[in-house]
Amino acid sequence: MIIEGLKSHGSGNDFLIIDELTTNLTFTEQEREKLAKALCDRGRLGADGILFVMKSEQADCRMRVFNADGSEASMCGNGLRCVARYANDALGLDKMIVETMKANLLVEKTKDIYKGIPTFKVEISPVSFNVKDLPLIIERETLQNEPLPELHSSLLFSALAVPNPHLITLVDSEILQSGLQADLSAKVNQPNELFPDGVNVSFVKELEPGSIYVRTYERGVGFTNACGTAMSASSLVTCSIGLNELEREISVYNNGGKVKCVVHFDEKKQTYSIDLIGNATYEFKISLEIDKNQPEQFVILEKQKFEEETSLYAKLQDEVQTYLQTAL
């Protein structure tokens, strides 16, 4: 069969978009898993995951996210921005509702985060601090800027689901530059007593008032240039401990670029939500010949690059890296 794909990235977190919204393509669950493993292999095509954009009975479209290891993610903030742009192009809507695994989320086209770069604002919710929603197996209901001695003797951790699970700690430059994050991430993403389903692990450093740096080890993927839900969750954590303020833009830097986040709290419902604002950049269109039974043997038939878009984003990345060299 022939599959038309679109390689896109949000903050350097890259995905292959497969359109089931305007085409007749359809896949079994096993086929989705196999496709993700085959197409995300960096030795061939390469991506952090596959975004299946689908028809929805309750929203403008539906997003399903499959990681490079074939597992399905409940949510992906950077991927949602890419889907928002794709659906905007396909449906002609600047504001839409996208169905995800746990919630129907508002997405909309917004002002450029950097001149000429397509930018989208997406809703990140629901948010839960209850450890059962990750799950995290401890004898407390929450873990908010508190020790987790089973992992480390002195770091303070926060655990939350947005709705995918995140473990977040604020660190200094010395710890950030050490190998500690890799060690802790490996521990909680293999069989362990704390996080039976694994967890995304973020180390966060304050750069200046209103600005933070976030580096994330993603469950099912490993270290990525950026993780949208991790940057959102990290922004919320910094607000909860008084480093940043609710309803104010936070500049969030990462190895793939930068985004902006705004944390909201609904007094009536006693719930949090986060706006994640950033790029949705197209890298290339691709035509693939694939045998569903042996997707690893796919053949690239045609590839069309979006050179102007990628070069423009590269300028943003250069500026970010220059800033981080001094700020970190």
Those residues whose C-beta lies under 8 Å from the C-beta of residue 309, and which sit 6 or more positions away, are: 117, 118, 281, 282, 283
pLDDT in tens, 8-23: 999 999 999 999 999 9
CB atoms within 10 A of CB 141: 9
261 is catalytic: no
Q: What pLDDT does 223 receive?
A: 95
Q: What pLDDT does 113 receive?
A: 94
d(CA 277, CA 269): 24
Q: What pLDDT does 143 receive?
A: 98
Q: What pLDDT does 313 receive?
A: 97
pLDDT in tens, 256-305: 999 999 999 999 999 999 999 999 999 999 999 999 999 999 999 999 99
186 token code pair: 């490996």
pLDDT in tens, 109-118: 999 999 999 9
pLDDT in tens, 178-204: 999 999 999 999 999 999 999 999 999
Q: What pLDDT does 252 receive?
A: 98
pLDDT in tens, 47-85: 999 999 999 999 999 999 999 999 999 999 999 999 999
Is residue 262 within 8 Å of residue 273, measured between CB atoms?
no
Largest Cα–Cα distance of the chain, in whole Å? 55
Q: What average pLDDT score do residues 236-242 get?
A: 97
d(CA 31, CA 1): 13
Does the predicted model carry a pTM greater than 0.85? Answer: yes
User: Which domains does the chain show, CATH number per domain?
Assistant: 2-125+280-327 (3.10.310.10), 131-262 (3.10.310.10)
CB atoms within 10 A of CB 266: 10
Q: What average pLDDT score do residues 314-326 get?
A: 96
Q: How far is CA 258 from CA 11, 88, 135, 158, in A?
A: 6, 22, 29, 22
pLDDT grade for 6, boundaries at 50, 70 and 90:
very high
Q: What average pLDDT score do residues 302-317 get?
A: 97
Binding residues for substrate: 13, 67, 77-78, 164, 200, 218-219, 228-229
Q: What pLDDT does 281 receive?
A: 98
Q: What pLDDT does 266 receive?
A: 96
Residue 71 DSSP label = P
Those residues whose C-beta lies under 8 Å from the C-beta of residue 174, and which sit 6 or more positions away, are: none
Q: Of 40, 61, 82, 227, which residue is the catalytic one?
A: 227
Q: Phi/psi zone of residue 70: left (φ > 0), alpha (ψ -120 to 50 degrees), beta?
A: left
Q: Of 61, 76, 82, 261, which residue is the catalytic one?
A: 76
- Average pLDDT along the chain: 97
Q: Which amino acid is at 262?
A: V
Q: How far is CA 68 from CA 32, 228, 249, 282, in A?
A: 11, 16, 31, 19
Beta-strand runs (E) in the chain: 2-10, 13-20, 49-54, 61-67, 72-73, 95-99, 104-110, 119-124, 146-147, 156-161, 165-170, 200-208, 211-218, 222-223, 250-254, 257-266, 271-279, 281-289, 299-305
